[in-house]
Chains A and B, each alone.
Chain A
Amino acid sequence: MSGGYDERCAADLANVGEGRELSRADRAWLARVVTGAVRPNRDKPLWDLAHALAGLARLTGAGAGRDLVTLALDPRLATPEALAARFAGASAGAAAADARGLTLAAPRPWRTTWAGLARLLALAEFVLTAEDLAQFPLVTGWFDDLAKEPDEAERLAKRLARHLAAYRSDHLPLLASERRFRGILGFLRGRSAFTDDDILAFWRAEMAAGERPGFRTVAEHFVTFEAAAAVREGLDGLSAAASLDAMEGWEERLTASLSDLAQGEPAASLADLLADLPDGPKVLTGSERNDLADLLRLEPFHRTRPLTALRAASFGRVQSGLANRLRRGGGGADLAARASCAEAEEYRALAARAADLAHHLGRMLRIAAALRLAATGLADDLDAEAQAALREAEADLRRIRRAGFDDRARVASGFAAMDAALVRLAEETGRFVRAAEALDRRQGLDAAFAADRAVFAQAFAAAYAGEAA
């Protein structure tokens, strides 16, 4: 995915997520709070955090900021169950904890669930440790002020809101992507549904306007646009809501759809699965991985909009070649030759390679299954058909000439470590292959490629003409 955050921000979030072993949904929540994707008020989670810490300060009798830091960082308090076990039934002053969660009676009524508190403590760890702990002493000082005056939660909330706003302006460069989404919204004129050709037409308009965004980058924005359709509808309702009551209803719905968005994210992106495949045995070579990553990177478009996936794989590669050459100031084919798309890979060839890879991954899966069965010792109880499949997989294993496949024990342990990833990769590659076949029947891959080549070549030639001359 392109854009909108820097490496520091990705590392700050990863450190909190891994240290606390956060679930995917909680990681998504934290990422949304950090980028500001919370409505109607993006500072609400910080307001909640300040009140949660005020409540905990009372319940634990924390006298100093460091006590609150210890609570926030303690991995043994990272889950709702652990928090309930530690605090349920406690009360002190305005703070009380019951079976459901933490409540404050003063200076204003406030409450959160144990699950909410667990998330808020993850946010506390983030605000403390952001920027690789550069602000740790400052934020601890603010916690210290709160520990001494637990009624001053609002002051802490304001400080944290300013702190996170400054962090966003330093580490989340959202303007370019905001401009692009404004462009997409204007281009679609209120429509939610769009086609492969809308994506291409929008990209061409941006190219003609001198923006020169990557086709793949534009397609990635459409992936988000599609995933967030429900959220946008909620937002429209929010600005149209006439009364405060209606507003509250929308807030809940918006929060629910923003959470759905995170839940809808695949458990791990296909690109991650590919990057994390262990190296021994060599199930996929480097170039096989790259091919798959190119085709699957726009998840879920590889199964829902195979034409856009093919365009990004074929002409996206040409465009990054152009951009790289411009950056380097030379090397390889010249700009005009690249812009002509003579080197662009044909859709039929891309689809055929994907089919080969799907076949290859299927074979790897059968081998993995055979090895697993052999290890359980249940192979003898199988019916004749399964026995035959097993023998075939064994024969396959002996035929494979790839690094690491000569050592059966190593193959078995390697597959055991990656078979869930393999199943998903094989499945998704297969889905792309079937989507591309359907596209071929509908439109013809060769005709589509020829038409697209003319379009991309024209757009590249016009956009890069200045440098080519």
Chain B
Amino acid sequence: MTGTDDAARLLAEIHAARGLLRASVPAGGPTHAALWTHATREPGRVVDLAVERAIRHDPAIARRYRSMLAAQALAHAPLAVAASDGPLSSRRVGPFALDILPAEADAPPLLILRGEGRMPRVIEAMRGEEAVRLDLGEPVDGSIVLALDPAVPEAERLGRLLGDPASAVFLL
């Protein structure tokens, strides 16, 4: 590269940097730090309501948030593309199998999660404006069993979202 070419290149880079410094773009929505804090929170802890609201109502912020979940997930199933017939009773998320056993007379529906290797600690499912995050508890003999008690709103919501093929599921 000749001296003139490199000088021209450097000047163009400086010109763009100066332009960027002058470009006034209002930053939108919660900061990356606030979103990351939300994406790494323990289930059930106090959440930043403004962040939660922004994720629920702004598709661009929801997309950022899902990127952050995907980055730390052991496995995730993004928003499904194909519609399927009726609710699912089982689905795969990466190397993990999720099955929902229907309720019986005296027992709520159960979520059974099986897989090899390191097991997830937290599950988050979302679709549109609805989302839920729950602690999965300790695995026993390579499986995690979670009761989807219809009397507990969050558990009920998780069951419904998992049964919906259009929901995204993150195992963290």
A residues lining the B interface (CB < 8 Å): 1-5, 7, 9-11, 13-19, 24, 27-28, 31-32, 34-37, 39, 65-66, 69-70, 73-75, 125, 128-129, 132-134, 136-137, 140-141, 172, 174-175, 177-182, 185-186, 220-221, 224-225, 227-228, 231-232, 235-236, 239, 258, 261-262, 265, 269, 271-272, 275-276
Contact = CB atoms under 8 A, between A and B. Distances in A.
Nearest to A24: B21
A72 to B, nearest CB: 9
A48 to B, nearest CB: 18
Nearest to B65: A133
B7 A35 contact: no
Given A70-B36, A181-B11, A258-B14, 8 more contacts: A4-B19, A5-B20, A66-B72, A174-B13, A232-B11, A265-B21, A265-B22, A272-B22
A34 B19 CA distance: 12
Given A70-B40, A136-B71, A235 B17 contact: no
Contact of B20 (A2, A35, A75, A236): A35
A11 B3 CA distance: 33
Given A36-B13, A37-B14, A137-B71, A178 B8 contact: yes
Chain A to chain B: the 9 pairs with minimum beta-carbon distance, closest first: A4-B16, A1-B19, A19-B31, A37-B13, A140-B71, A182-B8, A178-B12, A137-B71, A133-B67
A90 B60 CA distance: 40
A3 B11 contact: no
B160 interface: no
B41 interface: no
B16 A132 contact: no
Nearest to A234: B10
Contacts of A69: 36, 71-72
Nearest to B15: A224
Given A3-B16, A231-B10, A132 B64 contact: yes
A15 B33 CA distance: 11
Secondary structure at the B interface, as helix, strand, loop or mixed, is helix
A18 B22 contact: no
Given A18-B27, A70-B40, A272-B24, A31 B9 contact: no
Contacts of B25: 7, 10-11, 14
Interface string B19-47: 11111111110011100100010000000
Contacts of A128: 32
A146 to B, nearest CB: 14
Nearest to A264: B18
A181 B4 CA distance: 9
Contact of A73 (B6, B19, B26, B32): B32
Contacts, number: 177
A275 B71 contact: no
A84 to B, nearest CB: 20
Interface in B54-77: 60, 63-64, 67-68, 70-72
A178 B24 CA distance: 23
Contacts of B116: none
A185 B8 contact: yes
Contacts of A174: 9, 12-13, 16
A391 to B, nearest CB: 39
B4 A14 contact: no
B106 interface: no
Given A75-B31, A129-B32, A231-B10, A1 B67 contact: no
Given A19-B32, A70-B40, A32 B13 contact: yes
Contacts of A75: 31, 33
A228 B19 contact: no
A359 B72 CA distance: 59
Given A19-B33, A140-B72, A28 B67 contact: no
B89 to A, nearest CB: 29
Contact of B23 (A5, A16, A74, A133): A5
A136 B35 CA distance: 13
A276 B24 contact: yes
Given A69-B71, A174-B12, A231-B10, A74 B33 contact: yes
A317 B70 CA distance: 49
B20 A262 contact: no
B33 A73 contact: yes
Contact of A1 (B3, B4, B15): B15
Contacts of B13: 4, 32, 35-37, 174
6 contacts: A2-B19, A19-B33, A31-B16, A37-B16, A224-B15, A232-B10
A220 B15 CA distance: 9
A178 to B, nearest CB: 4
B16 A19 contact: no
A16 B31 CA distance: 8
B141 interface: no
Contact of A15 (B9, B32, B40): B32
Most interface-central of B22, B40, B60 (chain A CB within 10 A): B22
Given A10-B20, A10-B23, A129-B32, A182 B5 contact: yes
